[in-house]
Amino acid sequence: MSTVEQRSRRDRTHVLYIAVIVAVVLGVIVGLLFPKTGVALKPVGDGFIALIKMMISPIIFCTLVLGIGSIAKAARVGKVGGLTIAYFLVMSTVALVIGLIVGNIIEPGAGLHLTDSIKQAGQKQVGQPQDTTAFILGIIPTTLLSSLTSGQVLQTLLVALLVGFALQGLGERGKPVLRGIEHIQRLVFKVLTMIMWAAPLGAFGAIAAVVGATGWAALKSLLVIMLGFYLTCVLFIAVVLGLVLWSVARVNIFQLMRYLGREYLLIFSTSSSESALPRLIAKMEHVGVSRQTVGITVPTGYSFNLDGTAIYLTMATLFIADAMDQPLAFGEQISLLLFMIIASKGAAGVSGAGLATLAGGLQSHRPDLVGGVGFIIGIDKFMSEARALTNFTGNAVATILIGKWTGEFDPDQARRALSGQDPFNEATMVDEREPVPSPA
């Protein structure tokens, strides 16, 4: 029996993803017909997201430590990391500019005339933005181990970097520790596969709660901003990311998206790209990018490469300004755009981070508009799916591009993986191939 046939027989997860689709449909029905029951089911969805978030820190830690610790020269990490950050800054800027252009063209909030009650609701529900000093100090964990339990992604990144470089400095003496972390990574992925069988239940609770609380009537007046945002995300993925990916790596964006189809469904049902982070790490290795590059690019991208969030920030800002009959001048839009480029970094890993960043930007530039965020809260959940899907796609594309630019991408393996000749191992989520050798 061939390897492909063996993997196909082991793969029973297609049943799981069909169940997720059915659960989402049932959740919508319950939310519409029995709204109070739908709202009461919110803890079910929250519980599943909590289980997923429980796994994020150990997965990022293991992946980043293995990625850095297995590199022969520290300069290699600096090259990959520097190129990664530079690319993220450029693409985030492009996403913000596109959101700004589309927002000015469609003027989604024009004519809404937000009432005082909506403004007051926004002021009550939006907390105070975090200042820069507190943000920087918050990256430093209380203890080395607390970074794995605090739920702060940036703290985990910092500690993983320190441990990875320390193991690298130990040389041969650090090899046993690296092998131990490899075994821990396999254990963590196995636990994750067990948790994923609760995905249908989590998706049902989350969708039912949102539809039950919001209803269709509340969405009618916001249809323009939602459709405009979704369309902008689609254009960004298909045109911007698609052209860059093809011109650099000769990889078709639609083939890549089909390859990541199960992850998209998971993200859509949970409205969080975090839920698919472990699978993205495994799949990017399987598609032909070296473990070292994946270990640096993917976790970093989840904190610094938030293309969907960038588009959302600009379009939502323009929407609120127009809806409150206080449109932003061009100069104000540019200054706010520059602020958002910085503020959007590190927004991953925090519930409602996009909404909090939006409020923080308005608070720093136009405090009189902060109250309008209350009108966005009603549909933020629906827009978060597009945010998460766009962020996820941007990180998948970035990983392949960085791998190509650093010579750690195997195009032949990519063709086999994307065409289905070498299917992803759903049973273990661990790539058993020999890793792509790193250049000296």
98-116 pLDDT, tens digit per residue, is 888 887 887 765 655 555 5
CB distance 361 to 327 below 8 Å: no
Q: pLDDT at position 415, please?
A: 93
Q: Is there a domain that residue 429 lies in?
A: no
Q: How far apart are CA 409 and CA 407, in angstroms?
A: 6
Burial of 315 (0-12, 13-18, 19+ CB in 10 A): buried
Residue with tokens 């945002």: 229
123 falls in which pLDDT band (50, 70, 90)? very low
Number of domains in the chain: 1
Planar angle of CA 48, 49, 55, nearest 5 degrees: 100
Q: Is there a domain that residue 9 lies in?
A: yes
Q: Is there a domain that residue 439 lies in?
A: no
- For residue range 302-318, list pLDDT tens digits in order: 767 778 888 888 888 88
- For residue range 213-245, list pLDDT tens digits in order: 666 654 455 677 788 888 899 999 999 999 999
Q: Is there a domain that residue 431 lies in?
A: no
At residue 88, what is the residue type?
F
- Average pLDDT of 261-268? 84
Q: Is the pLDDT assigned to residue 161 strictly greater than 50?
A: yes
Q: Is there a domain that residue 427 lies in?
A: no
Give the whole-number percent of the chain exceeding pLDDT 70: 71
Q: pLDDT at position 189, please?
A: 77
Q: Is there a domain that residue 124 lies in?
A: yes
Q: Is the pLDDT assigned to residue 400 strictly greater than 90?
A: yes
Q: pLDDT at position 365, please?
A: 67
Q: What is the dihedral of CA 9, 10, 13, 15, to 10 degrees?
A: 40
Which of these ranges, 2-11, 50-59, 80-89, has the smallest mean pLDDT? 2-11
Q: Is the pLDDT assigned to residue 387 strictly greater than 60?
A: yes
440 falls in which pLDDT band (50, 70, 90)? very low
Structural domain harbouring 144: 3-419
Q: How far apart are CA 321 and CA 74, in angstroms?
A: 48
Q: Is there a domain that residue 424 lies in?
A: no
Q: Is there a domain that residue 440 lies in?
A: no
Q: pLDDT at position 220, please?
A: 59
Write the DSSP symbol of residue 439: P
Supply the CATH number for residue 89's domain. 1.10.3860.10
Q: How far apart are CA 27 and CA 25, in angstroms?
A: 5
Q: Is the pLDDT assigned to residue 129 strictly greater than 70?
A: no
78 falls in which pLDDT band (50, 70, 90)? low
Indicate the pTM of the whole model. Answer: 0.65
* SS3 category, 353: helix
CB distance 347 to 388 below 8 Å: no
- Average pLDDT of 345-362? 57
Q: How far apart are CA 143 and CA 129, in angstroms?
A: 25
- Average pLDDT of 90-95? 86
Q: pLDDT at position 7, please?
A: 45
Q: Dig out the tokens for 403 from the structure.
A: 């791998």
Phi and psi, residue 409, nearest 5°: -135, 130
Radius of gyration of the chain, Cα coordinates, nearest whole angstrom: 22
* SS3 category, 327: coil
Average confidence score pLDDT of the chain: 75
Q: Dig out the tokens for 423 from the structure.
A: 């299917």
SS3 content of the chain, % helix, strand, coil (to 5): 80, 0, 20
CB atoms within 10 A of CB 284: 27
Q: pLDDT at position 17, please?
A: 67
Helix (H) / strand (E) containing 155: helix 153-170
Q: How far apart are CA 300 and CA 80, in angstroms?
A: 11
